[in-house]
């Protein structure tokens, strides 16, 4: 029994230090790095924040892909991966709101995206308790892609104007597009989970 317990502990440690999980840890560490870099003086701050954000977004693809390809999926990874994603998106949107890069009517787009992330997380947690999975749809993956590209354009902001004159406008347009997709996919998820919610009442 003790030997079996030791083997399980060793397996858990190896799993925690697998490359997919390390990439997830790196994405979490990137969250404060993006925020701190954004406030460096001049265009260098925005460019640095964008580079870190892009690197973190790329790890979001590779950690899941490698975990499946190398059969290194773990409970820790499944828990931390969505948390890392939501922290990165939320921190970037909040810093852009604080900087007024997202302002006026576009605040609603940011609010829709943040609200959906919280609500769907709550729904997933509830469904996990009743042993019901809620797979990510193809459209939701497209939503995430559009959302990341929008945030990337907005992080670059005025620093990108010498190369592309409509950086901010493109970013805000894509943010609204992501918000529309967010509403649709959020409704789709809640429709799929609604019968389980009613069954619990």
Angle between helix 2-16 and 75-98 (nearest 10): 30
Distance of alpha carbon 17 from alpha carbon 7, whole angstroms: 16
Provide DSSP, 132-163.
Answer: ---PPPHHHHHHHHHHHHHHHHHHHGGGGTTT
- Do 177 and 108 meet the contact criterion of CB atoms below 8 Å apart? no
Q: What is the pLDDT of residues 29-76, one digit of tens each?
A: 999 999 999 999 889 999 999 999 999 998 887 777 677 777 777 777
Q: What is the pLDDT of residues 113-160, one digit of tens each?
A: 999 888 877 776 666 665 666 666 788 889 989 999 999 999 999 999
Domain ranges of the chain: 1-79, 100-201
The model scores a pTM over 0.85: no
């Amino acid at each position: 029994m003790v030997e079996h317990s030791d083997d399980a502990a060793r397996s858990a440690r190896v799993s925690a230090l697998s490359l997919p999980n390390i990439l997830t840890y790196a994405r979490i560490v990137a969250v404060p790095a993006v925020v701190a870099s954004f406030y460096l003086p001049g265009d260098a701050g925005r460019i640095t924040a964008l580079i870190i954000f892009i690197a973190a977004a790329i790890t979001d693809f590779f950690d899941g892909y490698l975990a499946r390809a190398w059969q290194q999926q773990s409970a820790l990874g499944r828990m931390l991966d969505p948390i890392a994603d939501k922290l990165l998106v939320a921190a970037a949107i909040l810093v852009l709101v604080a900087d007024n890069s997202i302002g006026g009517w576009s605040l609603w787009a940011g609010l829709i995206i943040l609200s959906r992330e919280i609500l769907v997380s709550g729904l997933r947690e509830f469904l996990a308790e009743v042993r019901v999975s809620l797979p990510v749809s193809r459209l939701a993956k497209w939503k995430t892609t559009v959302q990341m590209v929008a945030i990337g354009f907005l992080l670059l902001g005025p620093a990108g104007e010498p190369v592309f004159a409509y950086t901010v406008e493109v970013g805000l347009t894509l943010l609204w597009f992501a918000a529309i997709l967010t509403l649709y996919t959020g409704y789709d998820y809640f429709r799929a989970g609604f019968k389980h919610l009613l069954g619990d009442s």
